[in-house]
Amino acid sequence: MPSVGAILIGAILGLGLGIVGAIPFLTVGWDTSTPGGQIALILVGVVAQFAAGYAAARIGQRDHELHGGLAALLLFSVVAAISLAAARDPSMVTLAAGGMIALMMGTLGGVLAHNRVE
């Protein structure tokens, strides 16, 4: 059974990192509708998902990969819900691909945290 606390803490840490990572792009007035701006925000999101997975796996005592994947998936779900509330016409293909990437990045973070623990 996965530790809900570890998953929540990992997702919260990932969300915080994502917000802190996105602030410089948004405060300097960088146009995030351009391809360069979108790539930068995607990279911030991927790093935040990896960090969420890594943190959750380090906090959880076992099932490191599971904790990492679930924390990143929770982080993605929160961000996707906010995006769906703000967007007029969301793409379900984009959401599905984003969820798969989140699961992969969080699991990768969990694997690396597991290798670091042992």
Given a cut of 60, is residue 26 above it in pLDDT? Answer: yes
Q: Of 88, 87, 68, which Cα lies nearest the Cα of 79?
A: 87
Confidence check: pLDDT of 53 > 90: yes
Residues 19 and 48: their CA atoms lie apart, in Å, by: 9
Q: Is 34 left (phi over 0), alpha (psi -120 to 50) or beta?
A: beta
Mean per-residue pLDDT, 99-108: 92
Model pTM score: 0.87
Mean pLDDT value across residues 59-77: 90
Q: Which DSSP state fits 118?
A: -
Q: Which of 8, 4, 1 is nearest to 75 (CA)?
A: 8
Distance between CA atoms of 51 and 71, rounded to whole angstroms?
A: 9
pLDDT band at residue 27 under the 50/70/90 scheme: confident
